[in-house]
Structure 1
Amino acid sequence: MLNIGMNLTLESLESNNPDKYKCKIADIENNNLYIDYPISLTTNRTAFLVNDLHLNCIFSTEDNGTYLFRTKVIGKVKKNIPLIILHIPPVEEFKKIQRRQYVRVETAVDISLYLQNSKERFTTITEDISAGGCAVLLPKNIQMHPLETGDATIVLPMQNGDYQYINTPIKLIRNWEDAGKNIASIEFSDLDEKDTQSLFRFCFERQLELRKKGLLT
């Protein structure tokens, strides 16, 4: 399931340092995972992980499954570049993350939608978003029906000033009215690993931003 070159997201399990990091697998030997020095999603700088630090490791496979396992830093080594060594537990301890478990944050980002049945194409904003889907505001002249499919392009403004563009097939789960607004809940049907990681990162950055503003506990 784990492959060289795969992107990983690491979550610190230390209560006094609840950070997330992104990194890549540089090598795999026996039960050891060799990663490049990770980048903190909070500071966008290289992070130095101490030995025995316990982490959650999250990765996505080519069949669009997302998995999590617990690991810890067991050492450092210099090959072509400096690397950190993580322990790989038995595959039985890998836990598949269901879409409903993805962290969802309330935030407005631009999204362009194309509906296959009606051939409608329109631009709107999200009410909330996660790595598994989003809720969007539907214009009054647009109607969607449960299980209707289409495509979406999402623009994610990242903390470092970059913009990530996510292109994905979608499926409508349900729609409803709230305070006079027509809202649709949409599932991302076929995200690749890179886009899943970008969405994880965006949601985490936005969570931190909302916490700093006192809008999220």
Structure 2
Amino acid sequence: MKIGTLLTLEFKKAQQTIKYRCKVIEKNEKYLFIDYPIDTETKKTAYLSKGTKLSATYIGNDQSIYNFRTEIVKKVKLVVPALAIPLPDDDKVQRIQRREFVRIDTAIDVAIHSATNSIAPIVTVTSDISGGGVSIIIPRGRTLEEGSKVTMWIVLHMHSGQYKYITAEAEVVLLKSINNTIQTASLKFTDITKQAQQTIIRYCFEKQRETRKKELSI
């Protein structure tokens, strides 16, 4: 793991899971040194005590997602205040399976066509996306059915400025109403190329990095 790697930390408290973001700012043969984590919901700096046990996730050079268990060992003073966590052994780092993709909240243009032509095409935006599927906002006056099969066209605006066009087969797995006004549908990919999936994962990583940079500039 190189300096500059972004980490997502998860801390489980009772029935709640709190997520933080941080960055590896230094390392040696024993420890990774991370800047003070930021709570992903409150956007506030978290002051984690020594011994706090966490789950850490990051994206490797191969764009795969990796996870390892860790804990806060000590506080240190570098150029900026930092926390030390043990450098994980290779056999303790696990590659996350496809069903465990990181999901980010973002609005992306998407078009949906029924596999059976039972409904007219729907053009809308996502509410979140991951390498395993998306959630979309259902336009007023339109409907989808749980279990229905669709073909999706997704437009990703990459950090490089390029547009990537993704086509995938998907299944509607859940319909939900938000505040009785907005209808959403969760869809999981059932047929997607590895290349397309890796493009989505890279897009999610880029959006996470953009969010992290904005948080650090506040």
For the aligned pair, the TM-score class normalised by the smaller chain equals 0.5 to 0.7
Q: Which amino acid aligns with 2:44?
A: R
Match of 1:209 in 2: none
Q: Distance in 2 between matches of 1:183 and 1:43?
A: 25
Written as runs of structure 1 = structure 2, the 5 A alignment for 1:195-210 is 195-196=204-205, 198=207
Residue 175 of structure 1: how far off its partner (Å): 4.8
Residue 132 of structure 1: how far off its partner (Å): 3.7
So what's the TM-score if we normalise by structure 2? 0.62
Structure 1 residues 152 and 98: alpha-carbon distance in aligned structure 2, compared to 1, 3 A threshold: farther
Q: What secondary structure sits across from 2:99 in the alignment?
A: helix
Alignment pair present for 1:130 and 2:130: yes
Residue 15 of structure 1: how far off its partner (Å): 3.0
Match of 2:31 in 1: 32
Structure 1 residues 133 and 64: alpha-carbon distance in aligned structure 2, compared to 1, 3 A threshold: farther
Residue 29 of structure 1: how far off its partner (Å): 0.6
1:9 and 1:58 in contact (8 A); partners too: yes
So what's the TM-score if we normalise by structure 1? 0.62
Deviation per CA, 1:122-178, whole angstroms, max 9, x where unpaired?
A: 8413476435431556999xxx987x8x65238xxxxxxxxxx99655341335699
Written as runs of structure 1 = structure 2, the 5 A alignment for 1:26-175 is 26-102=25-101, 110-113=107-110, 123-126=123-126, 129-130=129-130, 132-136=132-136, 151-153=154-156, 170-175=166-171
| Structure 1, unpaired ranges of 5+ | 116-121, 155-164, 203-217
Count how many residue pairs are aligned between Structure 1 and Structure 2. 177
Match of 1:189 in 2: 198
2:75 and 2:82 in contact (8 A); partners too: yes
Structure 1 residues 84 and 178: alpha-carbon distance in aligned structure 2, compared to 1, 3 A threshold: closer
Residue 84 of structure 1: how far off its partner (Å): 0.3
Residue 64 of structure 1: how far off its partner (Å): 1.3
Match of 1:22 in 2: 21
| Structure 2, unpaired ranges of 5+ | 113-121, 144-148, 176-184, 212-218
1:36 and 1:83 in contact (8 A); partners too: yes
Q: What secondary structure sits across from 1:19 in the alignment?
A: strand
Q: Distance in 1 between matches of 2:96 and 2:126?
A: 23
Coordinate RMSD, CA, aligned: 4.3
Residue 193 of structure 1: how far off its partner (Å): 5.5
Q: What secondary structure sits across from 1:33 in the alignment?
A: strand
Q: Which amino acid aligns with 1:124?
A: T
- Relative contact order: is structure 1 or structure 2 higher (C-alpha 8 Å, sep ≥ 6)? 1
Structure 1 residues 25 and 176: alpha-carbon distance in aligned structure 2, compared to 1, 3 A threshold: closer
Q: What secondary structure sits across from 1:189 in the alignment?
A: helix
Q: What secondary structure sits across from 2:21 in the alignment?
A: strand
Q: What's the % identity of the aligned pairs?
A: 26
Q: Distance in 2 between matches of 1:177 and 1:16?
A: 24
2:131 and 2:198 in contact (8 A); partners too: no
